[in-house]
Structure 1
Amino acid sequence: MVPPTSPTSSPAAPVRDTAAPAASPAAPPGRRRTRLFALPEVRWAALSAAAFLCALPLHLGGAPAWAWGPLYALCYAAGGWEPGWAGLQALRGRTLDVDLLMVVAAGGAAAIGQFLDGGLLIVIFAVSGALEALATRRTADSVSGLLDLAPARAVRLTDGTQEGVPVAELRVGDTVLVRPGERLPADGTVLEGASEIDQATITGEPLPVGCTTGDTVFAGTLNGTGSLRVRVDADAAESVIARIVAMVEEASATKAPTQLFIEKIEQRYSAAVVVATLALLAVPLAFGADFTSTLLRAMTFMIVASPCAVVLATMPPLLSAIANAGRHGVLVKSAVAMERLASVTRVALDKTGTLTEGAPRVAQVHLLPAGGLDEDTALALAAAAELHSEHPLGRAVVAAARERGLRPPEAREFDSVPGRGVSALVSGRAVRVGSPAALLTGACPAVTDAEAEGRTAVVVEVNGEPVAVLAVDDRLRAGAPEAVAALARLTGTGPTLLTGDNGRAAARVAAEVGITEVRAGLLPQDKVAAVREWERAGDKVLVVGDGVNDAPALAAASAGVAMGRAGSDLALESADAVVVRDEAAAVPAVVALSRRARRLVVQNLVIASVCIGVLVVWDLAWHLPLPLGVAGHEGSTVLVGLNGLRLLRESAWRDATGA
């Protein structure tokens, strides 16, 4: 139903700039992606880990110190210099960084011969810092890549001539020419022409929207095969696509309350350990104690008080849950993301591509009394006329015929008009397929019924007589009703549908999956406003979506899950988790798994705190032998680690799926 030419296209005008943008139909913007080892944090962490892994077997195997000593030194230097330098810089601002404490603890362990403990501590923190740097850079890349949706240049019409100019030079009131297959360079109003606009990046609607004179269009959306003259209504920096970028950057830069709380505790803990260690060293020396034994006791305290067990108390359950979810097609980006998923109390779901598959299909064929044809014949004729069309609705008609095993006859004299439909000569019959407004002169109950159900009505006309109405909708994703019910049980509140699609289509899908609260016709900023409204009321919101238009809400929410198979780059980067296989049931499953991980984290923190507390009190009140201190410290670390690894079992995912 998309034409190769448009009757409203303007005649060619002289072009001053031969570098004016050429049509690039459907070509997606280039994806900006920082390479893994392009980041210095990743390179240093990899070097530190490699040196540690080489030194470990030599050390444990009894090799001489000259064999493993330089490797441990390389491990300490590669992994410790950056957090150590950052910690020193923080000290200049009168802030005590826990990374500096870890480097000091690792150095203290090495000073009394515990090279293995110190090296492991260095590697843990180096790898953690590298992952954080990589996640931050990838998000920045995806935000920058979004701007590629809008073309770099535009064709501006001035006094009957065409001039290729950078988009940044466009001003409000300028008129631009948008050729078939090009992306729109600016937000504006159509002055002349008719076409279909694929604006899924802005509104999330799965089908191209017909536009004509007076309609509003957005930068970055994809023009069909009609030619348009558009008046620019907003500067490039004020376009909808630019505002989406700004909202994602703003939301991503905001620290969660949990993160702020952890940073505050981190400061107090670090300060307490440093003060206590210095006191254990300075006070006895002031009273004439032996330097070697005093240093040994202070270093023992530094080791047993170091938060290795606390770090491992938190990470194994979360990382085990991440690994288990990954085996079942859900990629959770970090331990912080898994922790966020555990706290959600309300869920907001997108419609197109999330609850539905995001592809049109013919749901029903309504025969009209005057046609005298059966369903298969009407559908075969429509498919024959649509066979050469590139419009999504046309492809849906052809797919429906093939699903029934029909072979459309050969069509000749194919023609298409934007927003109206296609026509062809099929087996001696004049067949037209298009919108009710173009092919019907009066009311039609079948059209009314289809549109009342939120479906798109397509009329089939043979030899000037309407013979059938095809009801086209978006196919519901398998397992969507069960996923909605499971999310309601987990959070205690029914999910809400947030969509840019029209109200009737949204209501139909909501009724099919069991959602009672629907907000339709939303732009990206409206979705963000809804999320912030709920969070101001005290809710922790989980947003599930797949498109660029969902990305600001995914970033603004407490947690976000993206449907990954057809999801946009920005949605995938903004979300905390990605459902690779597009299985709706995976969303409540990963939430349930995250809650189990949180319970294990609490258990482990209790175990780690008790063990560290006992060892510290023992060292302070009596004399804790260094071997016993190391054994107790490492024993508590192993204990909490094994407890957290329970979530690696297959039964953990089965239990989560049944939640």
Structure 2
Amino acid sequence: MSAELIEDRPRADAPPPARPRRTRVRDLPEVRWAALATAAFLPAFPLDLAGAPAWLWGPLYAVCYAAGGWEPGWAGLRALRERTLDVDLLMVVAAIGAAAIGQFLDGALLIVIFAVSGALEAFATRRTADSVRGLLDLAPDTAARITPDGAEERVPVTALRVGDTVLVRPGERLPADGTVREGMSDVQQAGITGEPLPVDKGPGDEVFAGTLNGTGALRVTVERDASESVIARIVAMVEEASESKAPAQLFIERIEQRYAIGVVAATLALFAIPLAFGADLTETLLRAMTFMIVASPCAVVLATMPPLLSAIATCGRHGVLVKSAAAMERLGAVTRTALDKTGTLTEASARVRDIQVLPGGDLDEHQVLALAAAAERPSEHPLARAVVTAAQERGLRLEPATDFTSAPGRGVQARVTGRTVQVSSPAALPAGSGAPLEDPDDPVRTAVAEVENTGATAVAVLIDGRPAAVLAIAAPLRAGAAEAVAALGRLTGTPPVLLTGDNKRAAARLGEEVGITDVRAGLLPPDKVATVREWEDAGERVLMVGDGVNDAPALAAAHSGVAMGRAGSALTLETADAVVVRDELAAVPSVVALSRRARRLVTQNLVIACVCIGALVVWDLLGHLPLPLGVAGHEGSTVLVGLNGLRLLRTSAWPGATGTDHQAAGS
């Protein structure tokens, strides 16, 4: 083996991989420069007021100007080189203008307040990313991997591969996403799913990296690489979303340049026109510099992104990946909801709901199920897996099957313990089977009708050519489906609609269970798209929720799309604006409510920013606004809107996390 290959392989004794560190205040360059500017200003200020010689306080002011102004000034010059006007440059120019007429104190105060507010903005913005990236700290650095010979070895988490088995002892955090192979325990997974109480886990249950194991030992089969774990996907998608821009932000950026140029032109006019009429130079320049400061749109620029990014981060902590700030903004504007049936309102996998043994046979339901499951075991059909799973859950012994044959759309046939077992659709029952379906009194026809009336799929089991039982197979309703449907109706003001390709009887039955009255069944993908576009053309903003390939076109056509992530197709996950990782339907109205709250905060921020700018400008034009007071008002409003948007990072911001009613959260 080559040295390169040996070197590339992770070693068991290798140091744990480096992980991103949470941002500390002193780590931010903006904070360091602001601290230096403030440290120079504090001793210079009393010396200047006391009338001390200029050689004592002059160098301190110079340090203050350089520390607080060089970075925004240099960035502004680079922007000018690209023919854009940076609003930060306006602040630096105003400070230099004040110093040019001997107002060193006012200019230094502007620099200090501007630098401190910039540091606060930088720290507040970093908190959004840190709140989600901190999820990486939940996952351990190493794992106890079980070797093929049963030994235990300690390896870095990055060395784990799909199919590996890891041992998780009581009190340890799980190192990877996977499925429990052996053991029983309770797992605290609030950091991933938001569930406040530990969840019991046993063989076959899914577990997630970073969750905390309780009192039992678990052996877990790794199902995803570290880079594909739920935690890693949340972090990656939130970071990607933070680089996107919402329509409101794009609109502000389009007008920012024109507005900044207008501010410069107005400042020059406020300086030149009074001078032309004999006004005092110092007073005129101070008023013009004050106007430039208070009219700068810093608070407006910062009004939109913090609320949206905070909402994205909060969604990520609760297992919902919103792909962009634009997607988050769109989710709060929906006026109608359309939901798919299978995999969305119901679980993705079907289960045997009931077994009706037909009269005249010599087998009970356990014996019929064992024979049917043995015949179905070689099949890959979803209904076949449901039959096999039902037999395994009941602990039934499955004998080997021979002479297996499968006919698509009809069923399977095999020899089991010397008997011919056929599992098929009732419509595919052969003529002469002993129970023709044309007979209205036929027990098979009666049983099939009863099963289909419940919204389930009927499957007939024949033993040696005679009908023995009818199985009722259906996908169980998702937990909380009815509550989620009701919450979506309250949020949008219109009842949700069911769009499905299933038969009308099954769809209507499901609609009754979840409280949907508008049920549209038997739809092909083009039909779903046409329905969504019809609503969109009528002025509705449609939210489509689905999981399958057949839902992807409708998700793309809708104003917003949400995909159920656990069993969702790759195309659907790519098309959707948001992905519900845990397939918790209750998360959909929570995301819509949170988006609406984020939109309200954006509006609040814009109002705060515009009112502050307008009031300060009027004060400066019609009265005498001192430069320090103008600086404090301008920078204070900028910090205020930034911190206001970060309120959505709190745990209580997630609708439902503390019992918050969706209607109240979304109103």
Please indicate the TM-score interval, normalised by the length of the shorter structure. 0.5 to 0.7
Alignment match, 2:388: 398
1:115–1:334: structure 2 CA closer, same or farther, 3 Å change rule? farther
Alpha-carbon offset, residue 259 of structure 1: 8.1
1:224-373 mapped onto 2 (5 Å cutoff): 269=259, 272-287=262-277, 294=284, 296-373=286-363
In the TM superposition, residue 460 of structure 1 has moved relative to its aligned partner by: 1.4
Question: TM-score, normalised on structure 2?
Answer: 0.62
Query: Aligned partner of 1:461: which letter?
Result: L
Structure 1 CA distance for aligned equivalents of residues 375 and 337 of structure 2: 43
In structure 1, stretches of 5+ residues that fail to align are: 1-48, 89-98, 132-254
TM-superposed CA distance for 1:619, in Å, is: 1.8
Task: For 1:62 and 1:259, locate their aligned partners in 2 and report how far apart those are by CA, in whole Å.
Answer: 36
The structure-2 alpha-carbon separation of the partners of 1:411 and 1:568, relative to structure 1 and needing over 3 Å to count, comes to closer
| CA–CA separation in structure 2 for the residues paired with 1:570 and 1:297 | 59
Q: Which residue of 2 is the match for residue 500 of structure 1? A: 501
| C-alpha distance in structure 2 between counterparts of 1:304 and 1:618, whole Å | 10
Shift in Å at residue 55 of structure 1? 3.8
1: CA distance between counterparts of 2:115 and 2:303? 18
One-letter code of the match for 1:354?
A: T
Shift of 1:256: 10
- Match for residue 371 of structure 2? 381
**1:552-607 deviation digits (Å, cap 9, x = unpaired):** 43343333322222233443344333222211111112222333333344433333
- Shift, 1:378, TM fit: 0.8
Q: CA deviation at 1:527?
A: 2.8
The one-letter code sitting in structure 1 at the alignment partner of 2:401 is A
Q: 1:298 to 1:563 in 2, by over 3 A?
A: farther
2:572 is matched with 571
Q: In the alignment, what sits opposite 1:629?
A: 630
Amino acid at match of 2:640: L
CA distance in 2, matches of 1:506, 1:555: 23
Compute the displacement of 1:464 (Å). 1.7
Q: Deviations over 1:442-493 (max 9, x none)?
A: 2122223434544332221212212112222222211111100111122221
Which residue of the partner structure matches residue 517 of structure 2?
Answer: 516
Aligned to 1:439: 429
1:370–1:466 CA contact under 8 A, matched in 2? no
Structure 1: which amino acid aligns with 2:416?
V
Matched with 1:102 is 87
Helix, strand or coil: the match of 1:357? coil
The answer to whether the 8 A contact 2:547-2:567 is kept is yes
Q: CA deviation at 1:643?
A: 3.8
Contact 1:385 1:411 in 2 (8 A): yes
5 Å-filtered alignment, 1:448-463, equals 448-463=449-464
Corresponding residue for residue 581 of structure 2 = 580
Cα distance in 1 for partners of 2:358, 2:594 equals 52
SS in 1 for 2:648: helix
1:189 corresponding residue in structure 2: none
What is the alpha-carbon distance in structure 1 between the residues aligned to residue 496 and residue 480 of structure 2? 15
1:347–1:541 Cα contact (<8 Å) kept: yes
**CA, structure 1 residues 574+299, in 2 after alignment: closer, same or farther (shift >3 Å)?**
farther
1:124–1:575 Cα change, 3 Å:
farther
Give the Cα separation in 2 of the matches to 1:102 and 1:501: 57
Aligned to 2:648: 647
1:520 and 1:585 map into 2 onto residues whose CA distance is: 23
Root mean square deviation of aligned Cα:
3.9
Q: Describe the superposition over 1:146-172 as per-residue Cα deviations: whole angstroms up to 9, x where unpaired.
A: xxxxxxxxxxxxxxxxxxxxxxxxxxx
Paired with 1:483 and 1:372, the residues of 2 have a C-alpha distance of: 46
Matched residue SS, 2:349? strand
Aligned-partner Cα distance in 2 for 1:458–1:323: 46
Q: Given residue 333 of structure 1, which amino acid in structure 2 is its aligned partner?
A: K
User: Which runs of structure 2 are paired with 1:55-74 in the superposition (5 Å)?
Assistant: 55-62=33-40
Contact 1:84 1:103 in 2 (8 A): no
| Residue 538 in structure 1 maps to residue 539 in structure 2 | yes
- Secondary structure at the counterpart of residue 566 of structure 1: coil
- Closer, same or farther in 2 for the Cα pair 1:594/1:375, shift >3 Å? same
**Does the CA-based 8 Å contact 2:247-2:326 persist in structure 1?**
no
The letter of the residue matching 2:451 is A
Q: Equivalents in 2 of 1:564, 1:636: separation in Å? A: 40
For 1:426, which of 404, 416, 436 is the aligned residue? 416
User: What letter corresponds to residue 518 of structure 2 in structure 1?
Assistant: E
| Distance across 1 between alignment mates of 2:307 and 2:646 | 6
- The superposition leaves residues 332-362 of structure 1 with CA deviations (integer Å, 9 ceiling, x where unpaired) of 3344433332222211112222112222222
1:190 corresponds in structure 2 to none
Shift in alpha-carbon separation, 1:451–1:256, aligned structure 2, 3 A: farther
Separation of aligned partners in 2, 1:569 and 1:51: 41
> Deviations 1:525-563 (Å, cap 9, x if unpaired)?
433332232233332222222234333433433333222
8 Å contact from structure 1 (residues 432, 462) kept in 2? yes
Counterpart CA distance in 1 for 2:279 and 2:582 is: 65
TM, length-normalised to structure 1: 0.62
Residues 637 and 475 of structure 1: is their aligned pair in 2 closer, same or farther, counting only changes over 3 Å? Answer: same
Matched ranges for 1:42-57 at <5 A: 52=30, 55-57=33-35
**Residues 68 and 115, structure 2, Cα contact 8 Å, conserved in 1:** no
1:277 deviates by: 2.9
Find the aligned partners of 1:405 and 1:302 in 2 and give their Cα distance.
Answer: 79
Q: Matches of 1:571 and 1:293 in 2, distance apart?
A: 64
Work out the CA distance in 2 between the residues paired with 1:77 and 1:499.
58
Which residue identity is paired with 1:373? Answer: L
Kindly indicate whether structure 1 or structure 2 has the higher relative contact order, using CA contacts under 8 Å at least 6 residues apart: 1
Q: Percent identity?
A: 65
Matched AA of 2:633: G
Residue 482 of structure 1 is matched in structure 2 by 483
Match of 1:409 in 2: 399
In structure 2, give the amino acid aligned to 1:551. Answer: A
In 2, Cα distance between the equivalents of 1:52 and 1:256?
26
Distance 2:572 2:266 in 1: 47
